[in-house]
Structure 1
Amino acid sequence: MELLSSEFFQRALLGGVLIGITAPLMGLFLVLRRLAMIGDTLAHVSIAGVALGFLVGVYPLGVGLLFALAASFAIEKLRKTYKTYAELSIAIIMSGGVALASLLFSIGRGFSVDINSYLFGSIYTLNDTDLLVIGTVTLIVIGAIVMQFKEMFLMTFDEDAAAVNGLPTRYFNLMISFLTALVIGVSIKIVGALLISALLTIPTACSLIVARSFKQSVVLVVLVAEFAVIAGLMIAGFWNLAPGATIVLLLIAIMLVLMMGKAAVKR
C-alpha cells in the first residue's frame, strides 16, 4: 500500500491510464487499415528526436513528438507516391529514423543512459510536464475520434467508398497519421519505443478474437489496455520489474488466454 501512496507511482498510473486510452484506439484504426507497422516506424523516428533533444538541451519528449509528426506526414506523402507499394513508405521512413538515431547516438554518447529510458520505457520518471503533454494529447485524440467517428469508420473499412461519398480522404489520412504520431510521441517514455507497437496492436488483436462489431472493438481495446497497464504497473512495482516489459507481456498473456478460450468454446 505504501507504493500506491507514492507520488511517482501515482503519476505513473495516471500517465499509463491516459495512454491506455489513446494508444489502443489509434492502434485499432491502424491495424484495420493494415498499417500496424507504422507504430514501430514513428517510434524509431521519435527516438532520433529524443536524442537530438538531449544533444541540444531541449525538452526531449517534445522534440521526439515533432519528429514523429514530421515522419507521419512524410509517410503519407510517400504512400501517395507509391500507391501500389504503400508499405514501402513505412520501410523508407523507418530506415531513415534508425540511421538518424544511430548518428545522433554516436555524436552524444554521454546521454546514452538517458536514451535507454526512452527505448525501453521509464514510466516511473514521469514529471508534471510529461503528464500535461500526455493529458493534452489524450484530449485531442478522444475529441477527434468522437467528432469524426463515422468518417473514420468509413475510412478504415473502405477508403474508396469514402471518396465516392465525398469525404476528403486526404484530410482524414493526414488526421489519422497526425493523431498516431501524437500518441506515439508521448508514449515512448511510458512503454518505450521498442515496445509501443505492442500497446498499439495487441489490444486490437484481443478485440478481434471476441468482438462482434466495430463498436465492441472500440470498447474492448481500451478495457484490455487499461487492465494490462494498471495490473502491469502493480506487478512491476511490487516485484521490482521493468514496467514497460511487464505491461507488454501481460497483454500477450491476455491474448493467449482469449485465443485458448475461443478455441475451447468452439469444441
Structure 2
Amino acid sequence: MESHTSPRFAVVIDDDADIRQLLVEVLTQAGFQAIPTSNGLDGIAAVKEYDPLITTLDVNMPGMDGFETAKRVRAFSPTYIVMLTALEDEIDTLQGLEAGADDYLVKPFRPRVLRARIEAMLRRPRGIDSSGNLIDATGPQPTLPAAPVMASRPPVEDEPGWVTHNGLRLNAEIRVVTVSGLEVDLTRSEFDLLAALLQSQRRVRTKPDLALILRGASPTVSAVVSEADKRAIEVHMGNLRKKLADNVAAPRWIETVRGVGYRLTAPEAP
C-alpha cells in the first residue's frame, strides 16, 4: 500500500555554500526534506511555502541578517529556529534568542551536536490543533492556527491535568497556561521553564538544571552548560515574567534566588 505520510521539511538559510550543503546532508540524514536558501528573503519565502518543522539560520548574512530574519519568521511561523553563528560574544547569543530562536550553535559546530539539539527540540510538543489535541512534533505537521494571546478561558476546577499556583494554572497535556482565567501565549521554552518550576514547587532550580531541561536532558546527568546557556535561561525567564506581568521586586509566581536560580513563590494565603 502506498504511504501517504507527509514529509518533514527543514529550511536552511545560510549564505555559505559549504555550510549550506553540510546542513542539508545532516538534516537529510535526520529524516527531513531540506530546502536550502542563501539569504534572509528567500529563507522567509521558503518557510511560508513549506511550513518547516526546523529552520537553521545563519546570523552573518549580507543584506538582511539572521536576527531580522528570525523576527520576521517568528511573526508567522512556529518553526523551531536554530541559529548558527560565528559570533561568540554573549550579546549575540542573547539577541538571537530574543529575536525568536529556540537554540543556537557557534561555528564551527559538530554535526552530531546539531542532530542532538534538534532531537531534543523534537521531544517537546509543537502545539495544539484546532480540536484541542496535542500534536507530536515527530508526526505529520499540519498548519497550526495562531495561538490566542490572553484569550478568555474560564477555569474548570474538575478538569484533569491542571496545576495551580496563586491564580496561575498550567496544563502540561494540552500546553495551556492561564492567569485569572485568561490564556497566556508562551513560547515552547517559556512554557517548559514554567512547568519545571511548578513541578519543583519551592525547591530551587539552578540555571544549569533549567538549561538541561530545555535540551531534553536530565538535570542529574553530567553535562557541560556554558555561561551563554545560563544567560539564555535569564533571557527566557525575563520574557516569561513580562508575559505573566510578574513584578520582579514583588513577585507573585517566580522568585530569583540570587547566584543560584529560580523557584516558585510561597502560596498566597486563602
- State TM-score, norm by structure 1: 0.26
Structure number with greater CO (CA < 8 Å, separation at least 6) is: 1
Higher helix proportion (structure 1 or 2): 1
Higher strand proportion (structure 1 or 2): 2
